[in-house]
Amino acid sequence: MPPIDDATRPRVAGSVELDPRQRAAGDHLRMVHDHFRHQLETLTRAVEDLRDAAGGGTSDGMIDVEAVRAGVHGLAPSLTAQQVAGLCGQVCRVLTMHHTIEDQNLFPAVATMQAYAPVAARLAEEHLVVDAHLERVDDLAVAVRTDPERIGELVTAVADLRADLESHFTYEETEMSEPLGLLGLGI
């Protein structure tokens, strides 16, 4: 899966000056993303710990693999209720709500503003890329249980997820702050 290409993203930010009240929506979006950035750090540490344990032969990996999968499920916006149950608690509910609001309410509302419609469409497309990353990481976390030699693939998959999700967050924070403020929409 090729990484998200920043150079092809539509850019609109900087076209209007927002007042402090209007900037609040963008600030809140950043705070939500900061929470998920912390979760990505936790997931990265879990995968690296798994790799280190596998390299040293000090662990069977079962508990560590479950921690990796729980981290993935804690980030995933589109898993079934059965997959999510018991794994992600409040973190997953908040992210699910976040993506649901974006996909069902924010992006369509922003798309009514002609200048910002391409940004909303691009962000919705990027959600699909992030979902594919999450599936890949989860599949590899399961595979590592029976084939510890695949840990390198898992470490790479998590790094790819983190890079694209961080890029997505930064782009969204930059480009969505204005339309959210202009429309008076909150997260």
Residue 98 pLDDT: 66
pLDDT by residue for the chain (187 residues), tens digit each? 788 999 999 999 998 999 999 999 999 999 989 988 987 787 777 777 767 776 654 445 454 666 666 666 665 443 222 232 222 234 444 555 667 778 888 999 999 999 999 999 999 999 888 778 877 877 777 777 778 788 889 889 889 988 998 999 999 999 999 999 999 987 6
With a CB cutoff of 8 Å and minimum separation 6, the contacts of 119 are 9, 10, 11, 12, 110, 175, 176, 179
Contact 167, 6 (CB under 8 A): yes
Report the alpha-carbon distance of residue 145 to residue 67 in Å, rounded. Answer: 12
Residue 34 pLDDT: 94
With a CB cutoff of 8 Å and minimum separation 6, the contacts of 34 are none
